[in-house]
Structure formats: structure tokens, C-alpha cells
Amino acid sequence: MFQFIDPLKTKWYVTFFVFLGWGMSFAIPILLPIDISSV
């Protein structure tokens, strides 16, 4: 990963939103069945 970006030059909010999107992609299979079962 560090061959593509320099972590010291990357803005903090870019890293935050990348990890947020990465985490949400794994949370969707967990959250979707809960949402469907509650309807």
C-alpha cells in the first residue's frame, strides 16, 4: 500500500473516508439482513 501513497502527505480526512468506506463494504452483509428482517 505504501508504494502507491505517502502516508505523511495524505490528508487525514482522505484516510478516514477510505477506511470508513472499506469498513462499510464489510458491514453491508451484516446490516442488510437486519434491515430486511425488521421490515
For residue 1, pLDDT over 70 is answered with no
31 assigned to some structural domain: yes
C-alpha–C-alpha distance, residues 32 and 36, integer Å = 6
What string of H, E and C letters represents the secondary structure of the chain? CCCCCCCCCCCHHHHHHHHHHHHHHHHHHHHHHHHHHHC
34 assigned to some structural domain: yes
**What digits encode the pLDDT tens for the residues 11-21?**
889 889 999 99
24 assigned to some structural domain: yes
**What digits encode the pLDDT tens for the residues 15-38?**
899 999 999 899 888 878 877 787
Structural domains in the chain (count): 1
